Amino acid sequence: MKEASVGILLTALRRASSHRSLYGATHHLTESADIAVARAADQVVGLARRAVVILIDDTLYLDGRLLAATSVSCNGIIRTLQDHGVESIAFEAPVDAGDCGKLAALICGRGDGPSPGSTVTLNADERIQEEVAPSSSELVRSAYAGSLQALRVIGDSLRRGTGIDLAQSTSAVKTLLGQLVSQPGAAFLLTTMKSHHEYTFYHSVNTAIHSLALGRLAGLDKEDQLLLGMGALLHDIGKIGVSAEILQKPGPLSESEWVEIKRHPQIGGEAILAASNQGQEAAAIVAFEHHLRFDGSGYPARSRRHLSKPMHFFSRLVAVTDTYDALTTRRSYRRAETPVRALSVLLTSAGTAHDPDFVHAFIRMLGIYPPGTLLELANGNIAMVTHPSDHPQAPPFAMVVADSVGSLLADPELIVLDKTDIVDQVSPARIGVDPTVLLDWISEHGLLAS
């Protein structure tokens, strides 16, 4: 798929920029990274000889066609390109690795970009930009992207050791909440987005979306929903203070590494508390308590004086949504669980690790088969659950996305699942489909409005 090729291209470009910053322009790893960008660009161009990637407000287009999933999954590099004034990139095959290196140099602040007339041309396609029509699901994707950016800004402040500003995160949560109210199905579907490169940020946005939805189900007023959303969005921000080597270590952690990991709730809680206005302290409490367990264990360990005090209402809620997204995300040290399996793990931990009331409410909210679940049907076709039905006892809505031999369908078919027709759960990796690639198709057909 062309969309997947663009994702590979942007990932290669991000890596080339990083290598250039770390090793310089002439290092063999940098040169290899530049070659990888050129090869990826040639794949995007294909037989057309020329391809134009356009960037408009956090959204990617390839030759005028919206790339919805890549716009979210590659939001970080898109933002970086836009920050450097890049609005469009034209590639002409065969793409030269040296030209790609100049583009990487621009991104990392070590050059002015490719020269005019080279195989990589910047900002030469204004006419195409004017012809691009916004997607009907643009607002919900924009809300997601804005939340990612708010976390990046706060993360940069923590790395520099300066105080953080909660204004952008507050605005991001308000926008997320608005989209959750108007397009809950689209918002839930976007929580299937995962990123190895920016795991903490994507995980935090997904946790915030589920937490806001669960908070609304619990009857919280708008002011409390905003505080809950801030706590959920920022709950893992303390991981900025933990080394990437420890966070991404594929094997078991040493005792000293585990001690380092267990510091992140305190780091995050203290940073949020220092930046909080009166009445915002609950967000800091969520960050501090999100790894405590319902039974009083967990970390940071509570003193004997505080053992009798229950976790904050928000913390108990966020602990459930945090665990669900973590379980359904592939990490360097374990595979991703299917959504159904993740709900089963939560149910098993109800009353010990997690508040049973929130576990049961979360399962009722998402349904037996949460949005994004891939299922094999009796006829061999693969269906993806898009959103729960309006009635808790009714089967969810789904779309047939692949046929019995695993070929993706160009025109997905909306169905109402019959539980007796479900044969098995399917991992997205098995058939190579990202559920979010269907977001715009579903939205344009009015299937995610409620």
CATH assignment of the domain containing 340 = 1.10.3210.10
DSSP letter at 330 equals -
Q: Is the pLDDT of residue 307 over 60?
A: no
The pLDDT confidence band at residue 450, using thresholds 50, 70 and 90, is very low
Length of the chain: 450
Structural domain contains residue 425: yes
Predicted pLDDT at 205: 94
Do 388 and 316 lie in one domain? The reply is: no
Lowest mean pLDDT among 95-104, 176-185, 239-248, 388-397: 388-397
Do 261 and 223 lie in one domain? The reply is: yes
Predicted pLDDT at 445: 60
What does the pLDDT average to over 423-446? 68
Q: Is the pLDDT of residue 226 over 60?
A: yes
Do 119 and 185 lie in one domain? The reply is: no
Predicted pLDDT at 206: 94
Cβ pair 314, 230 in contact under 8 A:
no
**Residue labelled with tokens 């469009």:** 88
312-322 confidence digits (pLDDT tens): 999 999 999 99
Q: Is the pLDDT of residue 193 over 60?
A: yes
Contacts 24+ apart (CB under 8 A), 165-170: 165/275, 166/230, 166/272, 166/275, 166/276, 166/277, 166/280, 166/283, 169/230, 169/233, 169/234, 170/226, 170/230
Output phi, psi for 161, to 5 deg.
80, 15
Report the chain's terminal Cα–Cα distance, integer Å.
30
Do 320 and 391 lie in one domain? The reply is: no
Predicted pLDDT at 91: 94
Do 247 and 311 lie in one domain? The reply is: yes
The pLDDT confidence band at residue 420, using thresholds 50, 70 and 90, is confident
Number of domains observed in the structure of the chain: 3
How far apart, in whole angstroms, are the C-alpha atoms of residue 158 and residue 30? 28
Do 256 and 360 lie in one domain? The reply is: yes
Structural domain contains residue 158: yes
Predicted pLDDT at 306: 57
The set of residues, in sequence order, having a beta carbon less than 8 Å from that of 238 and lying 6+ positions away, is 263, 264, 265, 266, 267, 268, 269, 271, 287
The set of residues, in sequence order, having a beta carbon less than 8 Å from that of 256 and lying 6+ positions away, is none
How far apart, in whole angstroms, are the C-alpha atoms of residue 279 and residue 87? 41
Q: Please name every residue paired with 121 in a beta bridge, in sequence order, or none if there are none.
A: 90
Q: Is the pLDDT of residue 448 over 90?
A: no
Of 18, 59, 13, residue with least CA distance to 440: 59
Do 253 and 182 lie in one domain? The reply is: yes
> 374-377 and 120-122 as β-strands: parallel, antiparallel, unpaired?
unpaired
Q: Please name every residue paired with 415 in a beta bridge, in sequence order, or none if there are none.
A: 398
The pLDDT confidence band at residue 449, using thresholds 50, 70 and 90, is very low
Helices 2-23 and 97-107: angle between axes, nearest 10 degrees: 70
Q: Spell out the SS3 assignment of 64-128.
A: CEEEHHHHHHCHHHHHHHHHCCCCEEEEECCCCHHHHHHHHHHHCCCCCCCCCCCCEEECCCHHH
271-284 confidence digits (pLDDT tens): 999 998 888 899 99
Do 161 and 119 lie in one domain? The reply is: no
Domain finish residue from 131, 153, 178: 131
Of 274, 303, 302, residue with least CA distance to 289: 302
Do 111 and 169 lie in one domain? The reply is: no
**Residue labelled with tokens 């319902």:** 294
Cα torsion through 201, 346, 401, 73, rounded to 10? 0
Cβ pair 150, 168 in contact under 8 A:
yes
How far apart, in whole angstroms, are the C-alpha atoms of residue 416 and residue 282? 40
Cβ pair 119, 92 in contact under 8 A:
yes
- What range defines the domain where residue 418 resides? 374-444
Structural domain contains residue 12: yes
Domain finish residue from 102, 131, 160: 131
Full-model pTM: 0.83
What does the pLDDT average to over 427-444? 65
381-404 confidence digits (pLDDT tens): 998 888 777 666 677 788 888 888
Structural domain contains residue 450: no
Lowest mean pLDDT among 4-18, 136-150, 217-231, 424-438: 424-438
Structural domain contains residue 265: yes
Structural domain contains residue 388: yes
Predicted pLDDT at 89: 93
Lowest mean pLDDT among 51-55, 251-255, 276-280, 429-433: 429-433
Domain finish residue from 113, 131, 149: 131
Structural domain contains residue 449: no
Which amino acid appears at position 331 of this protein?
A: R
Sign of CA dihedral 171, 173, 176, 178: negative
Of 139, 30, 22, 152, residue with least CA distance to 82: 152
How far apart, in whole angstroms, are the C-alpha atoms of residue 369 and residue 360? 14
Lowest mean pLDDT among 43-47, 120-124, 248-252, 285-289: 248-252
Structural domain contains residue 237: yes
Which amino acid appears at position 145 of this protein?
A: A
The pLDDT confidence band at residue 137, using thresholds 50, 70 and 90, is low
Tokens of 368: 């037996």
Q: Is the pLDDT of residue 301 over 50?
A: yes
The set of residues, in sequence order, having a beta carbon less than 8 Å from that of 338 and lying 6+ positions away, is 328, 373, 374, 425, 426, 427
Do 87 and 25 lie in one domain? The reply is: yes
Predicted pLDDT at 236: 94
Tokens of 296: 């009083």
Q: Is the pLDDT of residue 290 over 80?
A: yes
Do 98 and 170 lie in one domain? The reply is: no
345-372 confidence digits (pLDDT tens): 999 999 999 999 999 999 999 888 888 8
What does the pLDDT average to over 59-73? 79
Q: Is the pLDDT of residue 242 over 70?
A: yes
Predicted pLDDT at 432: 65
Do 24 and 158 lie in one domain? The reply is: no
Of 351, 290, 347, residue with least CA distance to 322: 290
**Residue labelled with tokens 């020329």:** 50
Average pLDDT, the chain: 85
Task: Select the more confidently predicted residue: 87 or 431.
Answer: 87
The pLDDT confidence band at residue 139, using thresholds 50, 70 and 90, is confident
Predicted pLDDT at 7: 86
Task: Select the more confidently predicted residue: 43 or 60.
Answer: 43
